[in-house]
Amino acid sequence: MNYVKPWAAVVLLAASVLIASCAKTSEATPVVAATLETSDATDIARLILTQDAAERLGVETAPVRSEDITRRRLFGAEVVARPAGTATRSGWWVRVDLTEGELGTIDLALPGLVFPLDDEPGSSGLKASPAQPDPGGGRASDGVLYTVTGGTRLSPGTPVLIELPQGGTERLIVPYSSVVYDPQGRTWTYTNPEPLVFTRVQITIDYVAGEEAILLDGPPPGTLVVTVGTAELSGFENGVG
């Protein structure tokens, strides 16, 4: 018959208690992947990830850009007879009627594109150059004039569409993947002001072009914004995940 010595039994019992205690401690103390810092001065919190959490999430960032954006706007127009006293005799003349407010947004020094109404979808259009009647510098009393070369189907009285460039405007640009929507429909992005630190900042989108969001308001150029991992950061901030 085998016997366990009294001192050995005590050692085994102590080891069992220690193992059980460690297991309970491990279950009760989960690994902290992120901490949240709040400030009385603002309701926007700073989210601080551990190095391990950042690597597991595969967080990626890109800088905010600033560019001079020229947008184009489509107007209804009409082919008209060549105004008397004009030097340009070839091609066609197109008149577009613009309001005073619209005149203030269009760059009349830049060419436009004319699209006959029966053009196939995806047509590249016909180049429309700002006209130079004498006098007027491209404006007539009853509209703004452009000259068009080509377009054998055009004749006076033909309705067309003309695409005109608006004046260039400085805009902030971020990848659309960096945009976060809250339940109220407001738009935000997570900035990365320092390693492992992320701050949610509200942005105002003008429009979306492909994979980029053109902003009316947002963080300054050069600011790093999160492009991969935004959903996970939002989950951490809201106590989910």
Find residue 200's DSSP bridge partners. Answer: 190
Segment 86-101 shows an average pLDDT of: 81
Q: Which domain holds residue 186?
A: 34-68+169-237
Instruction: Provide the CATH number for the domain around residue 95.
Output: 2.40.30.170
Verify that 138 and 199 share a domain, yes or no. Answer: no
Verify that 46 and 76 share a domain, yes or no. Answer: no
- Inter-residue long-range contacts of 57-60, CB under 8 Å, 24+ positions, other chains counted: 57/228, 57/229, 57/232, 57/233, 58/228, 58/229, 59/192, 59/198, 59/226, 59/228, 59/229, 59/233, 60/226, 60/227, 60/228, 60/229
Verify that 98 and 129 share a domain, yes or no. Answer: yes
Residue 1 binned pLDDT confidence (cut-offs 50, 70, 90): very low
pLDDT at residue 99 tops 70: yes
The answer as to whether 198 is a domain residue is: yes
The answer as to whether 111 is a domain residue is: yes
Number of domains in the chain: 2
pLDDT at residue 28 tops 80: no
Q: Could you tell me if 145 and 125 are in contact, meaning their C-beta atoms sit under 8 angstroms apart?
A: no
Verify that 183 and 199 share a domain, yes or no. Answer: yes
The answer as to whether 145 is a domain residue is: yes
Verify that 107 and 46 share a domain, yes or no. Answer: no
Assigned token pair, 26: 């491990």
Residue 31 binned pLDDT confidence (cut-offs 50, 70, 90): very low
Residue 121 binned pLDDT confidence (cut-offs 50, 70, 90): low
The answer as to whether 196 is a domain residue is: yes
Verify that 81 and 143 share a domain, yes or no. Answer: yes
| Phi, psi values for residue 198, rounded to 5° | -135, 135
Q: Could you tell me if 111 and 77 are in contact, meaning their C-beta atoms sit under 8 angstroms apart?
A: no
Verify that 41 and 104 share a domain, yes or no. Answer: no
Verify that 85 and 121 share a domain, yes or no. Answer: yes
pLDDT tens, 158-188? 899 999 998 778 899 999 999 999 889 999 9
Return the pLDDT at 68: 87
Q: Could you tell me if 131 and 93 are in contact, meaning their C-beta atoms sit under 8 angstroms apart?
A: yes
Q: Give the three-state DSSP class for 123.
A: coil
Q: Could you tell me if 198 and 213 are in contact, meaning their C-beta atoms sit under 8 angstroms apart?
A: no
From 135, 150, 165, the end of a domain falls on: 165
The answer as to whether 14 is a domain residue is: no
Verify that 206 and 142 share a domain, yes or no. Answer: no
Q: Could you tell me if 133 and 87 are in contact, meaning their C-beta atoms sit under 8 angstroms apart?
A: no
Distance in angstroms (rounded) separating the CA atoms of residues 192 and 85: 62
Closest CA to 200 of 214, 218, 217, 212: 218
Assigned token pair, 225: 């914004």
Distance set, CA 58 to CA 50, 61, 196 (Å): 12, 10, 12
Distance set, CA 56 to CA 16, 59, 60 (Å): 34, 8, 12
Verify that 138 and 207 share a domain, yes or no. Answer: no
Verify that 161 and 180 share a domain, yes or no. Answer: no
**Strand locations in the chain, DSSP E?**
34-39, 42-49, 60-63, 65-69, 72-80, 92-96, 112-116, 126-130, 139-140, 143-148, 159-165, 169-175, 180-181, 187-194, 197-209, 212-217, 224-228
